[in-house]
Amino acid sequence: MGKSRKITLSVPTTLGDITLGQYQKYMKVIDENKDDSLSVDFVNKKLIEIFCDVNLNEVDKIPLKEAEKVIEVITKAFEQKDKLIQHFTLREVEFGFIPKLDDISLGEYIDLENTIVDWQQMHKAMAVLYRVVNFKSKDKYTIAPYEPNDEVREIMKEMPLDAVMSSMVFFYDLGKELSIATLNFIEQEMKQGKTSLPKEFLDKNGDGISQYMQSLKEMSSNLTELHKSPFSSV
């Protein structure tokens, strides 16, 4: 009788050990089966397969107690708090977070807004927020100009998940603060009759502010759902 082959796993202990691409694969499994009654066993098997980079057939051979330990370690990794990750290295190239997010261009914002609420598009959003560092001096740095590039977007699938999670929270918090400040300013200007916008414009776009606030709430809800632990729905 032959000896059973020992299975060696590389278990991620932090979000920095998990790539965006791995998390996208996992979320695709969840999304494609969300209308079905997913069993905890199936989800846990996919969890180990994807995050530990092991064949699904091999997962079935892992002793139950060991599998439970692996799942516990990965689950704890998703409980870590998000602190903005400003730099990471991919393929020996350093990437940096936009130094001044409030200076983002319209084109960058549009690409970001269209992709940051969808996990399967998240690598495109990260290609906006993180770019190659082209100059660095102590804690100061600059990054390359934004140019939509499919090759770079694909590379971003290899970035660490802690950077993804932290940048999502940072982007949303900043956007919420800026939006609230802008809306408060417009409201005060309108009350005091100081707004320079023509009355016809305000009448025609009277619902604009409320629509924008609703859009912001929807984005907030989407980001909140995206940022939840993947195990909360299991």
pLDDT digit string (tens) for 153-191? 999 999 999 999 988 888 777 666 655 655 565 566 556
CA distance 196 to 9: 64
pLDDT digits (tens, 9 = 90+) for 80-104: 877 899 999 999 999 999 998 778 8
Bigger pLDDT: 61 or 193? 61
Bigger pLDDT: 220 or 83? 83
Backbone CA torsion sign across 52, 121, 146, 110: negative
Instruction: Specify burial of residue 76 (Cβ count, 10 A radius: 0-12, 13-18, 19+).
Output: exposed
Q: Is the pTM value of this prediction over 0.85?
A: no
- SS3 of the chain: helix, strand, coil, percent, to 5: 60, 10, 30
The percentage of the chain sitting over the pLDDT mark of 70, rounded to a whole number, equals: 70
CA distance 174 to 113: 13
pLDDT digits (tens, 9 = 90+) for 10-20: 999 999 999 99
CA distance 175 to 5: 52
3-state SS, residue 63: coil
Q: What is the mean pLDDT of the chain?
A: 79
Nearest to 228 by CA among 19, 37, 75, 13: 75
Alpha helices in 78-145 (DSSP H): 106-115, 122-129
Look up residue 160 and give its DSSP letter: B
Nearest to 97 by CA among 49, 132, 54, 52: 132
| The pLDDT of residue 70 is above 90 | yes
What is the pLDDT at residue 79? 85
